[in-house]
Amino acid sequence: MKDWVVDKVVEHLFGTWRHQKDWKSPLHITHGEGAYLFSKDGGKYLDFSSQLVCVNLGYGNKRIIEAIREQLEKLPYLGPGYATEIRAEAAEELSKILPPKLTKYVFSSSGSEANEDAMKIARSYKFPSYKIVSRYWSYHGNTPGALSITGDPRRMAVEYHTNVRGTVFAPDPYCYRCPFGEVGPDTCGLKCIEYLEYILENEGNIAAIFMETVTGTNGIIVPPKEYYHRLRKIADEYNVLLILDEVMSGWGRTGKWFAFEHWDIAPDIMTTAKGATSSYIPLGITAVDRDIDKHFRDQFLAIGHTFAYHTVSMAALKAAIEEYRENRVIENAAKVGEYLGKRLEELKERHKSIGDVRGLGLFWAVEIVKNRRTKKRFNTREDKLTGKTLMTSRIAAEMRKRGVLMSLNWLSHFVIAPPLIVTEEDIDYGIDALDEALKIADAEVED
């Protein structure tokens, strides 16, 4: 039977990051509850990646919904040049969970905008220095500036109209595929940091180092223990800003409020979004330290958004912070995340197509390979750009048949990041589906 909703969606809306010929029959979702989504045909699905790693508090959170409703009735919008009670309250609540050095904020509508603002602030603050050091496996957003510091294939597809001038890419702390031939984090000489320092020594005009604290979409790349200690020291020695993108890794996703807390460091600028409101309403945040704040008291700051400090988004932010804190959601992410890691390691023992498992909290990647010895991938970046069906897509399709949605699968890995409210029973349900689906890849592994 034809579904007019699906027909009209496909007729009028573009599918994102894909060839449009493949945008044929998106799943018709009617509602969500907790960690689960429900379809028109009666299906119930565990959301095993919180959609785009953003619905951290799951579906139907009454506190956030009520806060949004009350603010809509009271004052649904006000230009950014006014003071309101909810703006003061939300900013104050945010200040309680951020490092004390991050004292001033710009609120926008998305992680892309938050990163655009961070780049403008950094370049204005460090003028005439303007270059940004990013990483090859990074993703920082869809807008031209954010894409210019993005390393994954999405930049390559539209690079002709992004402002790539001023971006210098550095190697990632990708221990499973170390570009310097190191065999793992236990023997790592941190050559990736040494190379980054070499860039700072020789490039000139560097304004900032801009990184996802834990790389998200491109594989949940968790750096070795000393990586950020060295990076923080180098940034200070060379007088460049350290900007950390916590759009995905923030808001309890790794078992801490923000991922950089695992390494006891703080950035000069932090960006975040997604889990700030559990994505019930759009919000991006750019937080800067005291020195940057003082600088712009006497300098023109060329930043502004129609929806800056949006009153309804501020209400959702305040409610979300209260929910994370009062219901010990972040503690649950750490506890259940440890269980998830154990279950994934068990899968690795059983499936010869799994090359690596890595993560923190409820933020994990399973990387599949065609050959464990050579680490050969099933697919390449070119396969993604040319529309070839990926092995990860085939596995995700099988999981969907088994009642588990994997919204983020990319080239050779899955991002496993369920809502932070999940239980161990939910994890078992998702892992069992993945266990069966991985047989598709096992059947095509090279000996």
pLDDT digit string, tens, across residues 75-108: 999 999 999 999 999 999 999 999 999 999 999 9
- Which residues form the domain of 225? 75-326
CATH number at residue 217: 3.40.640.10
**Domain end (from 326, 344, 376):** 326
Q: What pLDDT shows up at residue 31?
A: 98
Residues 260 and 382 in one domain: no
**Cα 291 from Cα 293, distance rounded (Å):** 5
**Domain end (from 265, 300, 326):** 326
Q: What pLDDT shows up at residue 163?
A: 61
What is the secondary structure of 136-175 as a DSSP string?
TT----SSHHHHHT--SHHHHHHGGGS--TTEEEE----G
Q: What pLDDT shows up at residue 162?
A: 63
| 442 vs 181, more confident | 442
Contacts (Cβ under 8 Å, ≥6 apart) of 375:
176, 177, 355, 369
CATH number at residue 354: 3.90.1150.10
| 17 vs 93, more confident | 93
Whether residue 157 has pLDDT greater than 80: no
Residues 275 and 334 in one domain: no
Residues 280 and 200 in one domain: yes
Domain count across the chain: 2
Residues 107 and 202 in one domain: yes
pLDDT tier at 330, thresholds 50, 70, 90? very high
Whether residue 234 has pLDDT greater than 80: yes
The answer as to whether 398 is a domain residue is yes
Residues 36 and 82 in one domain: no
**Cα 408 from Cα 434, distance rounded (Å):** 14
**Domain end (from 283, 300, 326):** 326
The answer as to whether 66 is a domain residue is no
Q: Report the chain's mean pLDDT, rounded to a whole number.
A: 94
Residues 144 and 287 in one domain: yes
